[in-house]
Structure 1
């Protein structure tokens, strides 16, 4: 059971069905209550009409036996005097409830259909009667009360028992005092309509909920079908470790299609990262092989013939090996996402410091402070100066200036420059444009890659362009301290 409702499809179907069920039940209850209220009010209107018709006859002086509403065709009728005694009732009335009295047989009346002295107008105080006996209005002889009171009950007429809505109306007669007329209208139509509505709802609710559940199950199944395909393909990619595979992208423009596209973009980025790491390891191994092999050869020769030891060559290979190991370590730390320090670094002072002792390097710098690692920024600048020194004919110029919210450090040489088509490729790792150049003269091809990675980690950029003297110009742009 937990597995069944652990799926999005099952939960969506259950949720939609429950929401519709609550809405339908609430609406059904409201409809039934409204229907019952309207039909009950309609029955009350009919009962009031009958009661006022009888009251009109009484106000006109009609004898009890001549009242037209006592035939029982329109419902039970009772006429009570101000003492609550029954003085007139419908024919064949056998039982009644919901009125002021349960009596069904009228009191004996005087000849002519009039009450005897005990049932006359008398001096009784009608104000003592309760609300069910009338409105308590002060009425003139022959006047009918404006207010009507209502109640519900039942009655049996000629053996037929039924529920009724009763209306009570007071009337002030000229010779019989105040009388109260009770007339009832049957509630059979109300009961029938309510029962029919309830039956229809009880039968239709499960059917409608079944339709809602089926439609929701089908729609969610079709909507989530691409997700199942994505999951299967991701499982296959995980099992095969083949990052060149891609998940299927549905031809829709919904969230699932965007999820598939994002997943493929992530796979592409992961594939590129893994491929970059593989190339990095392969290139690093290749670069390390040469100095290690050279150093080993020299040591083996020295072991057999000490007089043939090339000490300067051994030291040079060792230094080159040390630099390459340092470069690889720094790249590994940058790839791992190491955040630079938050120290303030004056690029002008850093430029003068790195340029000191280098032949042919001039510095034209204004103070410009940035936030970051002095060691990493110094390493980036040193790599740019090394690269410029290898390609310059005579002169290398270092400039530092402020440009808006950025500090711009430029390193220009007067060499042959970098072809426009190669100005991005030179920042790739282990890339050397001059294939004929020896490794000893050209380095391992990591200096510019390290410089750009340092720039990116510090929130800046490093680009290559043309210098005014015709050589290469490298510009490092970094946010000024406190400027973001």
Structure 2
């Protein structure tokens, strides 16, 4: 018999939060292990896969918590000013040990600009997008930032095969429009789109854009913030 006093969604959110924190500690330990045993682990496919999958799970849990808070009308953007190149360098640094372990090149092409956004929310979007690019790239990824048409554009490019036509998208996503049969990418895109929509300026609202090309010729993910 179901206890009517149990809020199962709250129980799940609490469990997800605990798992997210545990995975964060695991990721820190993996970074320390890589540093302590750099010679033996640098080219270990098993260790690289372990770190990649742990990062992917951590990102999924961050997104699940964000979407839960969105459903509870408890997710809002706390806008502060940030120097964009420093922001990108800081968040790329988290992935450098894995990138180096996989033999992938990485770079940043960012204008010297300031942006106004929620650092925590954009961190979740960037970490997931970088992790996704690591999965599909051939040899390198690049973080980009520029101003265009009154928007701050932050993006991640890779030199993989690019997004299939069905995934190329401009604007915002609704939860009902997602096809979860295609894998976990849909969750990340919905989270990124939701974060973009929380950034507004006057009548302008943030959005995401997925297309192919860019400077590396593969997939390009962009988040546009007014």
Deviation digits for residues 310-350 of structure 1, max 9, x if unmatched?
A: xx9x9999887665443211111233252211311233221
Change (3 A) 1:370 1:421: same
SS of equivalent to 1:416: coil
Q: Larger C-alpha radius of gyration, 1 or 2?
A: 1
Which among 463, 469, 473 is matched to residue 220 of structure 2? 473
SS of equivalent to 2:180: coil
Distance 1:315 1:396 in 2: 18
Alignment of 1:160-309 (within 5 A): none
**Match in the other structure for 1:401:** 146
Structure scoring higher RCO (CA < 8 A, sep ≥ 6) equals: 2
Residue 448 of structure 1 pairs with residue 197 of structure 2:
no
How far is 1:430 from its partner? Answer: 6.7
Gaps of 5+ in 1: 1-280, 292-311, 434-441, 480-484
> TM-score, structure 1 length as denominator?
0.30
Figure out how many residues of one structure are paired with residues of the other and give that number. Answer: 164
Structure 1 vs Structure 2 CA RMSD: 3.6
Distance 2:188 2:113 in 1: 24
Distance 1:448 1:364 in 2: 23
Which among 348, 360, 370 is matched to residue 85 of structure 2? 348
Query: Is residue 344–residue 372 contact of structure 1 (8 Å, CA) maintained in 2?
Result: yes
**Match in the other structure for 1:366:** 111
How far is 1:374 from its partner? Answer: 0.6
SS of equivalent to 2:70: helix
Alignment of 1:428-439 (within 5 A): 431=180, 433=182
Distance 2:108 2:57 in 1: 31
How far is 1:362 from its partner? Answer: 0.7
**Match in the other structure for 1:327:** 63
Change (3 A) 1:361 1:432: farther
SS of equivalent to 2:87: helix
Change (3 A) 1:446 1:421: closer
> TM-score, structure 2 length as denominator?
0.60
Deviation digits for residues 255-288 of structure 1, max 9, x if unmatched?
A: xxxxxxxxxxxxxxxxxxxxxxxxxx9xx9xxx9
How far is 1:369 from its partner? Answer: 2.3
Distance 2:167 2:79 in 1: 34
Alignment of 1:35-184 (within 5 A): none
Structure with more strand by fraction: 2
Change (3 A) 1:395 1:457: same
Query: Is residue 324–residue 444 contact of structure 1 (8 Å, CA) maintained in 2?
Result: no
**Match in the other structure for 1:55:** none
Which among 408, 414, 421 is matched to residue 159 of structure 2? 414
How far is 1:380 from its partner? Answer: 0.8
How far is 1:406 from its partner? Answer: 1.5
Query: Is residue 62–residue 124 contact of structure 2 (8 Å, CA) maintained in 1?
Result: no
